[in-house]
Chain A
Amino acid sequence: MPIQHIKVLRNGTDEEELKVVETTGLPTWDADTKFTVVGRPQSRLEGLEKVTGRARYSYDVRLSGQLYAAVLRSPYPHARIRHIDTTKAEQLPGVHAILSSANAPDDITWYEEKSKLFDKTLRFIGDEVAAVAAESEEFAQDALRLIEVAYEPLPFVIEVEAALQPDAPRVHDKGNRVDEPTIYERGNAAAGLREADVVIEQTYTTQTAVHNSLEPHGCTAFWEGDQLTLWESTQGIFETREQVAEKLGLPEHHVRVVKEHMGGGFGSKQVPWKQTVIAALLSKQSGHPVQLMLDREAENLAAGNRNATVQRVRLGAKRDGTLTAILADIQVVVGAYMVGGEASEVNGMYERLYRCPNVRTEQIGVYINAGPCVAFRAPGHVEAAFALEAAMDELARALQLDPLTLRNRNYSEIDQKKEKPLSMPNALQVCYERATAAFGWQTYQRPAPTGPKRRGIGIAAHEWGGSGQPPAYAWIKLNGDGTVDVVTGTQDIGTGARTGLAQVAAEVLGLPIEQISVHLGDTAKGPYSPTSAGSSTQASVGPAVFAAAVEAKRQLLEVAAKLLEEEPERLEIRDGVVMVEGEPENKLTVAEVTGRLAPHMIIGQGARGPNAKDKTIRTFGAQCVEVEVDVETGEITVLRVVAAHDCGRIINPTMVDSQVFGGITQGVGFALTEERIVDEKRGLVLNANLEEYKIPTVADIPQMTNVPVNLPDLAANPTGVKGIGEPPLVPTAPAIANAVFDAIGVRLRHAPLSRRQLLAALATQAESIDKSAPPHTQEGQS
C-alpha cells in the first residue's frame, strides 16, 4: 500500500513525519514531456449541461414535501431585541417552523463565539433575527411580516476613523480593535527612510466591495432519521460537513454535503454561514426538507464582502531607484464580526513583492456596525496592490524613471521573509516581458487629445500563493469497457475543475477525454479534498488525480503485460491502445484489457504529496492598461488590458483565459464602480442590490489579452501546476489608476476612482498650477 507523508505534532512543538500514502517516486511532467490532452484547449465537460439549463444548482433541488425558508433580518445597525413574538406568524396557514432567539438552541455560537445562532444583540443591518419555513417562499415572506419584534436601537459606528476614537460606540464589549496590531519588520525601516534620497508618503483607501456571485448562498437541508444531507452552495464540502457536525453535535458520518454545480463563490462560500445550520434546524423542526436561499439583498448585506482598507504607505529610494525602505500602516475594516476562513493579509505584498532590506508593516482590524467581511478573490492582495503599486508609480514619477524600470531595479529573486529561494525566480520577469511586449509598452505613442479625451497607460504587478498543498485524495476506477471514473471530494465552484482534473487523468492513462468522467462535490462519495480557496484546486487535487492515475496505469500495464506476454516496462498507452515499444502490431486496446479483467476492477488511489521544503512557491503576474479619461465629465474608460500571469504549467489554455478575463472584469469593477454605500446617519446600506451597485457587464469591459506564461513549477507538484483563480484581479485596479495619472497628471488614491473624485482632483491641480511659480512641478515629488 502506498504511503503518505504526514506531519505529526509531538508535545505541541516538534514535528515528526509519518508515511501513510506514498507520494514520492512519481514521474513528473517536466519541460520535455510530450502531451496529447494537457496544454490543449478543452471545452468544459459540463458546459452543455450549463448552457441548456440542465445543470442542477442548490436552488434547483426539489424534494418531496420541500419547504422554503426566509430570514427576518435586523433593520438596525446595532440593536437589542427586547421582545419577539412569533404567534401570529405561527398561525399563518402554510407555515411549518419558526426559529428565533425565543426558541433556537442557545448553545450554538458563530463568528468566533461572538454571536449566538439567533442572538438578542444585533450588530449589523442584515443580522439574523428569525427564520420561517413555509410551503412557499411567499408564505414564508408573509410570515416574516407577522413577526413582532421590539428593538432597542443602540449607538452604532460606521466610519473606521470614528470607530477608533476612545469614546466610540462599541461594536463588541472589548472595543472596536479586532486584536493587537500585527507587526512585521526586517532591517531598520526608519533608518532606511533616512538613507533615502526620495520619499513617497501617501495614504490610499479601498472600498467595501461585495462578491455578487451569480448564485447566492444557500442550501437545502433534509433529514433521513439522524442522517442530515445538505445541498449547499459551498467552496468546501468537507469544511461545511465538519463545522455543521460540530455545531449540531452530530458525528461527521451522519452529515453529507453535496455541491454539484456552483455559480461562483469568490471566497464568500469558503466557510459555512448561519443560514446552513438554520436550514438544518428548520428541517428538523418541521420534519420536511427545507430550502433556504438568500435573495440578492441578503446576499449583499449578510454574506460577506471585501474589507475596506486605509493604507498609509511610505517608500524610500536612492536616486537610481533602489528601494531603501517600505513602510505600511494598514487598517482593515472587518465589519461587525470576524467570519473565519482566510483573513485579509494586506501586509503580505509589501513584505514580498520588491527587494528591500528595510520593511515594516503594521496591520490592525477594526470592527464597525456593518456586514462582516470574508475572503474575496485574492483577499488582502487586491487592497495592497492598489496602494503599493500606485505608490511605486508615484516613486517612478518622482525619480523620472519608467515605472517598469523602477520595478526591474527592485526585482526580488528570493523569499525575503523566509530567506529562501523562490522556486521560479524569473517568473515575474517573464510576466513583465511578455505583458509589455504584447502591449507595446516601450513603443507606446500617446494619441493627441481629442476634445476632452486624454489617453494614458499604466502597469502594475502582483504576487500570490497558489502552490496548492496536501492533503487531497483521489481514486481512479477503470471500468470493464475501458472507461474511467475519477472520484474525489473536491468541488467545482464554477472554475472548470472537472475538466482540468479529467485532462490530467486522460493524459496519464493515454485515453481520450471522452472516456473519463469526474465525480466530485459529495462528501459521501469521494475522499477528502480541501476547500477550493487560495487558487489551489488544480494544484492540490490535480496531483492527487495524477498519482491515482499513475497507480491505475501501473496496474493496467501489469495486466496487459501478462496478456501480451511482455514486460510492463516496454508497454505504453496511446489514444486508448496499449502497445509494445517498437512492435506496433503487438497491441491491445485498454477496453480489451479491462474487459478481460471484468468484473474485477483496477482502482488507483492517489494522494497529494508535500511541496518542496527548500523553496518558496509563489505565483506572479503583470498587467498593462490603456485608459481614456474625459476631463469634462470625469469618466474613465478602460480601453485595453494586456495580462501575463505565471500559473505554472497550463493544463487548459481556454480555462486560464477565462480566469484572466473574469479577474480583469472584476478588477475594472473594483477600480471604477463597485462600492457598498452606507448612509452614515442611519447605518443603512443604500445599494444592496444590482440596480444601484454596478458590476461590469459585457458593455463595460475593455479589450482583454491574456499572454500565456507556461512555466511548469515542479517544486509545487509533479504536474507543475499552480493556481490562476485569484491573481488576475490583483493588478488591474492599480494599473488603471496609474494609467489615469499618465493621462491627466493627477493621482487618484481612493478606490473606486469615481467621476467626482477625478473632477475634484483636476480642479485642485488647476488651482495649484495657477498658484505655483515653476510651471513643471511634478506631483509626487518630495
Chain B
Amino acid sequence: MYPPKFDYYRANSLSEAFSLMQEHGGAKVIAGGHSLIPSLKLRLADPGALIDIGRIGELKGITANGNSTRIGALTTHAIVAAAKNLPQGLTEAAGWIGDPQVRNRGTVGGNIAHADPASDLPTVFTALGATINLTGPGGERSVAAQDFFTGLFETALQEGELVSSIDVPTNGGGSAYAKLFNPASRYAVVGCAAQVKVENGVCSAASVAVGGLTSHATKANAVEAALLGKPLNEATIAAAAAQISQDLGDDVMGDLHASADYRRSIAPIYVAQALTAAASRAG
C-alpha cells in the first residue's frame, strides 16, 4: 500500500497556508497525518496536493487565560494528556487515544476537523462546552463545540478555513471520560464525557456528551436535566444515565464490532461511569 502521487507544500505561517490553499484547489491540509495518510494509502483520497501546516508555530501550545485554557490546533494528544491546567476529563481522554506513537504524532485540531464518529475528543469538547476557533483568509470566527460537529465526518468548517485553536473552560466543575475501547484500534465503541458542579449537596450544573453511537458527538440533554437539583449518588446517576436512550433516538449506528442494539444497551453504563468519576472530582 502506498499513496497516490501528490505534490507537497509546506506552509511556514498561517498566511502562507491560506495562499497555498487558494492556489491548489482540492488540496488537503496535513498536520499529524493520522487520518489522512491511511486514507491516501487505501486510495480513499486522491487530493493531488498536500499542504503541510505541521510547522506553523503559532498553532502550537497550551495557554491558560483566566477561566479558560487555549489549546493550539497543532498540539499533540500527548501534550494535552500531560497538561496540568486542563480539565481531567480531557487529559484522561487524550491519554487513552491510540498508543504512544499515535499520541505523539496526532494533533487535536486534526482530530476534530476529521470528526470521526468514534473519536474521543469531539465528545469531550462537546461536554466541556469548548469553543472551536476557526481562521480563514477572511478572518477568525468561533463556533461552540456542540455546533461544530454536524454529521458523519462533517463539521462547521468552511472551504478555506482551518481550526486554529480550542478554548476549554476550566471552571466547569469535575469532569471525566469513560469509554469502551475497540479492542484492536482503541477507538471508542461508546464514549462518554461528563462535567458536573455540586453546590449545597446537589448538582447545580451538568454537561454530558456521548460519542461512538451516532453520526457525531451528541449532547445528552435528557441526562443533564435528570441530574439538576439532585444529590449525586448511585441511584440518581443510574436514573439519569438511563435517560441517554431519549437523547440517542433511533440514530444509533452499528458495525462489525458492535451492533446498534449493543451500543444502545451499554451506553448508560459508560454515562454512569463518567458521571460517577466526574462527581467524585467535583469536590
Distance of A776 Cα from B180 Cα, bound (Å) = 34
Distance of A130 Cα from B245 Cα, bound (Å) = 51
A141 neighbours in B (Cβ, 8 Å): 1-2
Distance of A687 Cα from B180 Cα, bound (Å) = 20
Query: How many interface residues does B have (CB within 8 Å)?
Result: 14
Shortest B34–chain A CB gap in Å is: 13
Chain B 41-61, CB within 8 Å of chain A: the 1/0 string?
000000000000000000000
A756 neighbours in B (Cβ, 8 Å): 258-259, 262
B158 CB–A CB distance under 8 Å? no
Nearest B residue to A451, CB-CB: B234
A690 CB–B CB distance under 8 Å? yes
Within 8 A of A (CB), among B163-184: 180, 183-184
A452 neighbours in B (Cβ, 8 Å): 269
Within 8 A of B (CB), among A691-718: 691-694, 700
B265 neighbours in A (Cβ, 8 Å): 759
Nearest B residue to A138, CB-CB: B2
A686 neighbours in B (Cβ, 8 Å): 256
A295-B1, A677-B256 in contact; A694/B266 too (CB < 8 A)?
Answer: no
Distance of A327 Cα from B256 Cα, bound (Å) = 35
Cβ-neighbour of B266 out of A137, A632, A691 (below 8 A):
A632
Q: Are B259 and A633 in contact (CB under 8 A)?
A: no
A694 neighbours in B (Cβ, 8 Å): 183-184
Q: Are A693 and B2 in contact (CB under 8 A)?
A: no
Distance of A694 Cα from B186 Cα, bound (Å) = 11
B258 neighbours in A (Cβ, 8 Å): 755-756
Chain B 249-283, CB within 8 Å of chain A: the 1/0 string?
00000001111001001100100000000000000
Q: Are A687 and B183 in contact (CB under 8 A)?
A: no
A700 neighbours in B (Cβ, 8 Å): 183
A755-B262, A759-B262 in contact; A633/B2 too (CB < 8 A)?
Answer: no
Interface of A is mostly: loop
A673 CB–B CB distance under 8 Å? yes
A693 neighbours in B (Cβ, 8 Å): 184
Residue with the greatest number of chain B CB neighbours at <10 A, chosen from A633, A692, A700: A633
Nearest B residue to A452, CB-CB: B269
Cβ-neighbour of B256 out of A138, A634, A687, A755 (below 8 A):
A687
B200 CB–A CB distance under 8 Å? no
Q: Are A633 and B180 in contact (CB under 8 A)?
A: yes
Q: Are A691 and B269 in contact (CB under 8 A)?
A: no
Shortest A648–chain B CB gap in Å is: 37
Cβ-neighbour of A633 out of B184, B185, B257, B269 (below 8 A):
B269
Distance of A452 Cα from B258 Cα, bound (Å) = 20
Q: Are A691 and B262 in contact (CB under 8 A)?
A: no
Distance of A473 Cα from B262 Cα, bound (Å) = 57
Chain B 183-194, CB within 8 Å of chain A: the 1/0 string?
111000000000
A755 neighbours in B (Cβ, 8 Å): 258, 262
Distance of A328 Cα from B29 Cα, bound (Å) = 60
Distance of A424 Cα from B174 Cα, bound (Å) = 64
Chain A 669-687, CB within 8 Å of chain B: the 1/0 string?
0000100010000000011
Nearest B residue to A295, CB-CB: B1
Shortest B39–chain A CB gap in Å is: 13
A691 neighbours in B (Cβ, 8 Å): 184-185
B1 neighbours in A (Cβ, 8 Å): 141, 295
Q: Are A690 and B2 in contact (CB under 8 A)?
A: no
Nearest B residue to A679, CB-CB: B256
Within 8 A of A (CB), among B1-50: 1-2
Cβ-neighbour of A673 out of B183, B185, B259, B266 (below 8 A):
B183
B183 neighbours in A (Cβ, 8 Å): 673, 694, 700
Nearest A residue to B185, CB-CB: A691
Q: Are B184 and A690 in contact (CB under 8 A)?
A: yes
B256 neighbours in A (Cβ, 8 Å): 677, 686-687, 692
Distance of A756 Cα from B258 Cα, bound (Å) = 8
Distance of A756 Cα from B266 Cα, bound (Å) = 11
Distance of A58 Cα from B185 Cα, bound (Å) = 29
A633-B269, A686-B256, A755-B262 in contact; A692/B184 too (CB < 8 A)?
Answer: yes
A137 neighbours in B (Cβ, 8 Å): 2
Shortest A782–chain B CB gap in Å is: 32
Chain B 107-119, CB within 8 Å of chain A: the 1/0 string?
0000000000000
A690 neighbours in B (Cβ, 8 Å): 184
Distance of A687 Cα from B256 Cα, bound (Å) = 9
Distance of A705 Cα from B193 Cα, bound (Å) = 39
Nearest A residue to B261, CB-CB: A756
Distance of A633 Cα from B269 Cα, bound (Å) = 8
Distance of A633 Cα from B180 Cα, bound (Å) = 9
Distance of A759 Cα from B265 Cα, bound (Å) = 10
B184 neighbours in A (Cβ, 8 Å): 673, 690-694
Residue with the greatest number of chain B CB neighbours at <10 A, chosen from A138, A677, A755: A755
Distance of A677 Cα from B255 Cα, bound (Å) = 11
Shortest B244–chain A CB gap in Å is: 14
B266 neighbours in A (Cβ, 8 Å): 632-634
Shortest A302–chain B CB gap in Å is: 16
Shortest A666–chain B CB gap in Å is: 15
Distance of A248 Cα from B119 Cα, bound (Å) = 52
Residue with the greatest number of chain A CB neighbours at <10 A, chosen from B180, B257, B258: B257
Chain A 628-663, CB within 8 Å of chain B: the 1/0 string?
000011100000000000000000000000000000
Distance of A759 Cα from B263 Cα, bound (Å) = 12
Distance of A686 Cα from B269 Cα, bound (Å) = 28
Distance of A633 Cα from B266 Cα, bound (Å) = 6
B259 neighbours in A (Cβ, 8 Å): 756
Shortest B51–chain A CB gap in Å is: 23
Within 8 A of B (CB), among A10-60: none
Distance of A446 Cα from B43 Cα, bound (Å) = 53
Chain A 442-459, CB within 8 Å of chain B: the 1/0 string?
000000000010000000
Within 8 A of B (CB), among A138-172: 138, 141
Distance of A755 Cα from B269 Cα, bound (Å) = 14
Distance of A673 Cα from B257 Cα, bound (Å) = 10
Nearest B residue to A633, CB-CB: B266
A138-B2, A691-B184, A691-B185 in contact; A632/B269 too (CB < 8 A)?
Answer: yes
Shortest B4–chain A CB gap in Å is: 10
Distance of A632 Cα from B1 Cα, bound (Å) = 40
A759 neighbours in B (Cβ, 8 Å): 262, 265
Shortest B46–chain A CB gap in Å is: 12
Nearest B residue to A136, CB-CB: B2
Nearest A residue to B3, CB-CB: A138
A677 neighbours in B (Cβ, 8 Å): 256
A673 neighbours in B (Cβ, 8 Å): 183-184
Nearest B residue to A677, CB-CB: B256
Nearest A residue to B38, CB-CB: A691
Shortest A476–chain B CB gap in Å is: 47
Nearest B residue to A689, CB-CB: B184
Residue with the greatest number of chain A CB neighbours at <10 A, chosen from B1, B183, B269: B183
Within 8 A of A (CB), among B132-171: none
Shortest B96–chain A CB gap in Å is: 12
Nearest B residue to A635, CB-CB: B180
Shortest B257–chain A CB gap in Å is: 8
B269 neighbours in A (Cβ, 8 Å): 452, 632-633
A interface vs B, CB < 8 Å? 137-138, 141, 295, 452, 632-634, 673, 677, 686-687, 690-694, 700, 755-756, 759
Known contacts A673-B183, A694-B184, A755-B262; 16 additional CB pairs below 8 A are A138-B2, A141-B2, A295-B1, A452-B269, A632-B266, A632-B269, A691-B185, A692-B184, A692-B185, A692-B256, A693-B184, A700-B183, A755-B258, A756-B258, A756-B262, A759-B265
| A-B contacts, 28 listed (Cβ < 8 Å) | A137-B2, A138-B2, A141-B1, A141-B2, A295-B1, A632-B269, A633-B180, A633-B266, A633-B269, A634-B262, A673-B183, A673-B184, A677-B256, A687-B256, A690-B184, A691-B184, A691-B185, A692-B185, A692-B256, A692-B257, A693-B184, A694-B184, A700-B183, A755-B258, A755-B262, A756-B258, A756-B259, A756-B262
Nearest 8 A/B pairs, CB to CB: A694-B184, A694-B183, A632-B269, A138-B2, A686-B256, A691-B185, A677-B256, A756-B262
